[in-house]
Amino acid sequence: MDFVRFLQYFCSIAGALCLGFTYYHMFKRDSPVKKEESQQGGTD
């Protein structure tokens, strides 16, 4: 019974970590908009 509880706990923590990491990367990528624009212009 303890194992199932631990598994649920671990899964919830892992899921939250994954979500936070994804959001963090998205935020970091969305922040430097000027950089992305200049990069697109350079490759164009």
Q: What does the pLDDT look like over 4-41, one tens digit per residue?
A: 999 999 999 999 999 999 998 888 877 655 555 556 65
Q: How far apart are CA 40 and CA 34, in angstroms?
A: 10
List C-alpha distances in Å: 37 to 4, 14, 19, 24, 32.
48, 34, 27, 20, 9
Question: What pLDDT is stored for residue 1 in this prediction?
Answer: 72
Decide: helix, strand or coil at residue 19. Answer: helix
Question: What pLDDT is stored for residue 31 in this prediction?
Answer: 62
Say how many Å lie between the first and final Cα of the chain, rounded.
59
> Is 0.75 topped by the overall pTM?
no
Question: What pLDDT is stored for residue 43 in this prediction?
Answer: 57
Q: How far apart are CA 10 and CA 25, in angstroms?
A: 22
